Amino acid sequence: MRVRELVAFIKERESIRDKKELGKPRPWTKDEILDKYRFCNVHREHDRVTKWLRAHWYPMFEKNDDLWFAAVVARLFNLPESLEEIRPFILPFKPDKIRHLLYSRRRRDMKNFNAAYIVSTNGVRMDKVDYILDCVLQPMWDERKHLRPIKGDTLNRYHTALMKFDGMGGFLAAQVIGDLKYNDPILRLAEDWESFAASGPGSRRGLNRMIGWDLTRSWPEKSWRFHLEDLRGKVNLLLVRAGWQPLHAQDLQNCLCEFDKYERVRLGEGMPKQHYKERI
């Protein structure tokens, strides 16, 4: 396994964030790829939108039984500017009020969605705002009593429950889990808090690179999680020995995706869509 290479990537990316937040001038790295292209933070909790949600979104819903629903809304739109406007109409859910506000934003050439996540109508020919409100959120709201986390819930079980609804694929459902594990009083205690992760195309390729397998090799989810947990043990051993913070499985999953992106550039296999800007 290419554990040391992955750990070196993780440490350099985290070092860039540290230098930037300390106000040090660029360049923050001698690595030309990390300097030129945008890569996600090592720890998801350091991402800009995640920090905004933690400070301005979840405190508004922390005593509500349907905080989970606010998390779904947050990650479907994933844009602080639009979330700020629709926040008064989330709990209880008032789709027509939200629709009016989002239509108004669009007429003013303002964005409603963050392009970081791909949110589509899944082949249904209708306005995306209408699809999200009527086909994704309304059915979940109607089933809210059955979607509230219960004592003893695991992140894996809750992830599976979210995925039963249209528009909630494995990636998006995992992003909701990534918020709830820090903000929901029940899921903060989940026994798989450290070990839960859901694979995506990038993290599957990343794990294939680590093991030396063909990049197109498919993974049964159970097998992917087994190998991810084995890798996490090896990565965290090196990180802790060097005085760095260990990773939970969702952060490692994300790092595998970003390492795959890095390797594609290094090996001339492709280029990231976004160049690095002053904001991390």
Question: Residues 203, 226: one domain?
Answer: yes
Residue pLDDT, tens place only, 235-258: 999 999 999 999 999 999 999 999
The answer to whether the predicted template modeling score (pTM) of the entire model surpasses 0.85 is yes
Domain boundary among 188, 205, 228: 188
Number of folded domains in the chain? 2
Domain boundary among 166, 188, 210: 188
Considering the domain boundaries, does residue 92 fall inside one?
yes
Question: Residues 64, 184: one domain?
Answer: yes
| Residue 32 near residue 153, CB atoms below 8 Å | no
Please list, in sequence order, all residues whose beta carbon lies within 8 angstroms of the beta carbon of residue 42, skipping any fewer than 6 positions away: 10, 13, 14, 17, 247, 251, 254, 255
Residue pLDDT, tens place only, 72-94: 999 999 999 999 999 999 999 99
| Residue 149 near residue 158, CB atoms below 8 Å | yes
Residue pLDDT, tens place only, 155-166: 999 999 999 999
Question: Residues 140, 73: one domain?
Answer: yes
Question: Residues 239, 151: one domain?
Answer: no
Considering the domain boundaries, does residue 44 fall inside one?
no
Range of the domain at 225: 3-39+195-266
Residue pLDDT, tens place only, 110-150: 999 998 887 888 888 999 999 999 999 999 999 999 999 99
| Residue 227 near residue 233, CB atoms below 8 Å | no
Please list, in sequence order, all residues whose beta carbon lies within 8 angstroms of the beta carbon of residue 156, skipping any fewer than 6 positions away: 192, 196
Considering the domain boundaries, does residue 148 fall inside one?
yes
Question: Residues 222, 165: one domain?
Answer: no
Question: Residues 91, 130: one domain?
Answer: yes
